[in-house]
Structure 1
Amino acid sequence: MAVEEVHTAAEGVGTAAEGTEAAAESLGSKRYPVAPGVRLNVRSGPGTNYRLIKVLPLGASVPINCQKPGETITGPYGTTNIWDNIANGQFVSDAFVQTGSDGYVTIRCS
Structure 2
Amino acid sequence: MKMTDDEVRAMVAEMLAEQHRLQQANFDAIVLRTVASVLASFGIDNDDRKELRADFQHLRRWRTSVEQAQSYTLKAVITVIATGLMGVVGLSVKVVLGK
TM-score with structure 2 length normalisation? Answer: 0.21
Greater per-residue strand proportion: 1
Q: Relative contact order, CA 8 A, sep 6+: which one is greater? A: 1
Greater per-residue helix proportion: 2
